[in-house]
A and B are shown apart, each in its own frame.
Chain A
Amino acid sequence: AQKVTQAQTEISVVEKEDVTLDCVYETRDTTYYLFWYKQPPSGELVFLIRRNSFDEQNEISGRYSWNFQKSTSSFNFTITASQVVDSAVYFCALRSGTYKYIFGTGTRLKVLA
C-alpha cells in the first residue's frame, strides 16, 4: 500500500523562527517521486519541489530546504527564518508508477508576526 503521513496537523511559529514539516511515506516501489506543494489561503496548489527515489541529495532553495532519507522513508521540509507569507497548508505527495498522486493530510503552518 502507498501512503503519505504528515503527523503535524497544525504548527504555529513566530516570525523568524525555523520550522520543519515532517513527511513519512510508504511504498513498495523502488522508483517513485516525492513532492511538496504549498496551498495558500487562496486555494491554488503551488509546486515547491520534486525528488526522485534515486536522488537522496538534500536541496536548498533560499529559505527552503528538504531532507530526503530513504532509510527512514522521510522527506522533511524546513523553512528557515519563517515569514508571515509562509503561512499556508503544506502537502507532501508521493507518486509511483502511474501519475496518481497520494497526498498527505497536510500541515497548516501559521507564522505569527
Chain B
Amino acid sequence: GAVVSQHPSWVICKSGTSVKIECRSLDFQATTMFWYRQFPKQSLMLMATSNEGSKATYEQGVEKDKFLINHASLTLSTLTVTSAHPEDSSFYICSARDLRRDTGELFFGEGSRLTVL
C-alpha cells in the first residue's frame, strides 16, 4: 500500500523555538497533502491542505503565520510550528492521496508528537 512517513516521531522543544515536521510520500507522488492536529483523546482536526507548488489552504481558525506549510516537491510537505508555546503541544498527523489509485482513501503518516516546555 501507499506509504507516508513523518519525521520526527516526537520532539521536545523550548518555548519560543521553531520546530519543523516533515511528511514524505515514500512510494508515490502526492500533489496534495493534509495536516491534522489531534489533542489527547480527541478527534483529528484538519489544519490545512498542502498543495505542491502553491500556497497551502488553511482551515478557519488556524494561524497561517504560526503553522507554516511548504510543499516544495511531489513527495515532501513540511509543517513548521513557529515560536512554539506549550499550547501548541499536540500530535500532528499528515496524510496524502495516492493519485495512482484515487480510490478516495487518505494514507496517514505515523504522526509527530510535539511537546513544548
Give the interface of A toward B (CB within 8 A).
33, 35, 37, 42-47, 50, 52, 91, 95, 99-101, 103-106, 108
Residues in A with CB closer than 8 Å to B110 are 42-44
* Bound Cα distance A33, B108 (Å): 17
Given known contacts A50-B105, A99-B32, is B46 in contact with A105 (CB within 8 Å)?
A: no
Compute how far the CA of A100 lies from the CA of B48 in the bound complex, rounded to whole angstroms.
Answer: 10
**In whole Å, how far is A31's beta carbon from the nearest beta carbon of chain B?**
11
Chain B residues with Cβ under 8 A from A42's Cβ? 110
Q: Mark B residues whose CB is within 8 Å of A.
A: 1, 32, 34, 41-44, 46, 49, 91, 93, 95, 97, 103-111, 113
Closest 7 CB pairs of A and B: A45-B108, A43-B111, A44-B110, A33-B104, A105-B43, A103-B44, A103-B43
Known contacts A43-B91, A99-B32, A103-B44; is-contact A50 B111 (Cβ 8 Å): no
Residues on B with C-beta less than 8 A from A35 are 104-105
Q: How far is the CA of A105 from the CA of B41 in the complex (A)?
A: 9
Name the residue of chain A whose CB is nearest to the CB of B103: A50
- Shortest CB distance B105–A (Å): 5
Q: How far is the CA of A35 from the CA of B34 in the complex (A)?
A: 16
Q: Is the CB of B111 within 8 A of A99?
A: no
Q: Which residues of A contact B107 (CB under 8 A)?
A: 47
Contact of A104 among B43, B91, B97, B108 (CB under 8 A): B43
Question: A95 to B111, Cβ gap below 8 A?
Answer: no
Whether B91 pairs with A101 at a CB distance below 8 angstroms is no
Given A50-B103, A99-B34, does the pair A45, B43 have CB atoms closer than 8 Å?
no
B46: min CB distance to chain A, Å: 6
A43, B113: Cβ atoms closer than 8 Å: yes
What is the distance, in angstroms, from B14's C-beta to the closest C-beta of chain A? 23
Q: Which of B1, B44, B95, B104 contacts A52 (CB 8 A)?
A: B104
Q: Which residues of the other chain, A, contact B113 by a CB distance below 8 angstroms?
A: 43
Q: Say yes or no: A45 contacts B105, CB within 8 Å.
A: no
Name the residue of chain A whose CB is nearest to the CB of B1.
Answer: A47
B43-A95 in contact (CB<8A): no
